[in-house]
Amino acid sequence: MKKNIRVVGAVIIDGDKILCAQRGMEKSLPGLWEFPGGKIEETETPQSALQREIQEEMHCRVEIGEQVEHTVYEYDFGIVHLTTFYCQLVEGTPVLTEHIEIQWLKADELEQLEWAPADIPAIEKLKRTYQIQK
């Protein structure tokens, strides 16, 4: 049986732009785009895991808001349960550590990147939400 992997991702919003991060080439899903974040550890809530991951990966602190989307996607290496949350930067600016590249894009530009498959529902939801606001 495949292992279940619980993952959180931060949809960091600054004005009308969203932070996108490109995965390293030595990782699973090499070179695909994702929301910064990672696996939830045993003792963590989704929010505390997200806060820790953003601190570790981006060297900044965020305020975590509403859930954007929850998706379950079966990869060859396991079943990823991905929950994404709206976040605002409250301290520091994101820096590159383990990602290859970061980009700030508008919601309707997100689909220009090649995203990890588990992220597609969140990308579509963000695009719809943005269209309603316009």
Question: By CB under 6 A, is residue 49 in contact with ligand 8DG?
Answer: no
- Contact between 77 and 94 under an 8 Å Cβ cutoff? The reply is no
Cα separation, 75 vs 79, in Å, equals 6
Question: By CB under 6 A, is residue 69 in contact with ligand 8DG?
Answer: no
CB of 63 to ligand 8DG, least distance (A): 19
Using CB under 6 A as the binding rule, the residues of this chain from 84 to 113 that contact ligand 8DG are: none
DSSP letter string, 50-86: HHHHHHHHHS-EEEEEEEEEEEEEE-SS-EEEEEEEE
CB of 102 to ligand 8DG, least distance (A): 13
Which residues are 110's β-sheet partners? none
Cα–Cα distances (Å) from 102 to 6, 51, 62, 96, in that order, read: 23, 18, 17, 7
| Interface residue with ligand 8DG, options 2, 39, 106, 128 (CB under 6 A) | 39
Question: By CB under 6 A, is residue 20 in contact with ligand 8DG?
Answer: no
* Footprint on this chain of ligand 8DG (rule: CB under 6 A): 5, 7, 9, 27-29, 34-35, 37-39, 80, 82, 116, 118-119
